[in-house]
Amino acid sequence: MFSSVPHFQRLAEKTNQVFFVYSLTAKQMLYLNEAYEKVLRCRRGRIEEDLPELIASLHPDDFLYLRGCYKQLLKGEELMEGIEFRLQRDDASVQWLCVTAHRTEETPGQVLLTGFLHDITGYKEYMENAHRYNMKKNSTLEILSHDLAGPLSFMQGLATRLEEKMVQYNDPTINELVRIIGVTCGESVDLIRDFVNQEFLDSVNVDLKKERVDLAERLRILIGNYQESEQNIAKKFRLLTCGAPVYVGLDSMKFMQVMNNLISNAIKFTPDGGHIDVRLEEPPKAILVTVADDGIGIPAEFQSVLFEKFTKARRPGLRGEKSTGLGMSIIKTIVELHQGRIWFESAENRGSTFYIELPKE
């Protein structure tokens, strides 16, 4: 196969990635390099016998996805990159693999599939830990922001009221102490809000790093974090899904920041004892995520400008939480970077529901 380019064959034999040449016409493997035995744990000379077993070990959630990619190549798609899938091993471990395949017609009537396959299990485990850490961190930031900024805002209001009452006693020392309390509370609230807002600002300035993720699992972790803090937040959180995995191409860290921000807004504008529901659905041609609350709703005059940067629709939360008017603009930007769209329905004193529609893979 490679007699005319022995240097290429030597390179293929030295790489840690699996290099393959498969004849779509003859449905036969024409070449596999030595890395095949290390990565797939099979012998090159037994590919025909081992292939059915490898196919049987495909993770059930990835089988249809991989078959769809193969059909696209059969129909004439020339190049498919970054196809990620899993193998379930006999020892109950999961091996993540990524393949890039190129379809070419070597000679009339001879269609070949060539490409590289490499093991990304270590990378996936690292990213999974990073995702869990960042999702926990983001939801914790929002919870701390709410639980710290709310009482501080309340104390600031009390200090202002106390300052007014203390005028009649004409005690400069006490007046100054009350003033310092009010200023300190205000500066602390601003610091908390600025810190959380910066997290979202930073997310917009970084390119997306999309990968195929189970959005249902990501949302379960996220809502679980909020449910653990229901007593502190005084709200009820619920996730509504069909229970099955829902795979989407996402920069999941950025997208979960979107979810955190939507939930944070729902917390700010929902009275104690209220409900916040996150729903994940899979219509025929899209993925639909909704965040619904039974809070105070969005006034009609603000609805048309809600997604504008530094929007005039910004308003303090029910506990006096400040808003920079940037959150919804950032949410819209991240959703659109994912080729999705976002919209909402709301009425005063009847709550708000935000919809995010994402394209299927």
- Read off the pLDDT of residues 160-194 as tens digits, 9 standing for 90 and up: 777 777 777 777 777 777 777 777 777 776 666 66
pLDDT of 102 > 60? The answer is yes
Contact partners, residue 16, CB within 8 Å, separation at least 6: 35, 38, 39, 118
User: Minimal CA–CA distance to 252: which of 219, 278, 229?
Assistant: 219
Instruction: Enter the pTM of the model.
Output: 0.58
Tens digits of residue pLDDT in 190-230: 666 666 666 655 555 566 788 888 999 999 988 988 888 77
> What is the pLDDT confidence band of residue 238, given thresholds at 50, 70 and 90?
very high
CA distance 249 to 260: 19
**Which value, in Å, is the radius of gyration of the alpha carbons in the chain?**
27
Span 254-263, average pLDDT: 88
Q: Residue 43 has what pLDDT?
A: 85
Classify residue 243 by its DSSP letter.
Answer: S
Contact partners, residue 198, CB within 8 Å, separation at least 6: none
Cα end-to-end distance, the chain, whole Å: 35
In terms of phi and psi (left: phi > 0; alpha: psi -120 to 50; beta: otherwise), the region of 33 is: beta
Span 68-93, average pLDDT: 87
Q: Residue 296 has what pLDDT?
A: 92
Assess contact for 267 and 233: CB atoms under 8 A. Answer: yes
Contact partners, residue 148, CB within 8 Å, separation at least 6: 188, 192
User: Minimal CA–CA distance to 140: which of 294, 263, 34?
Assistant: 263
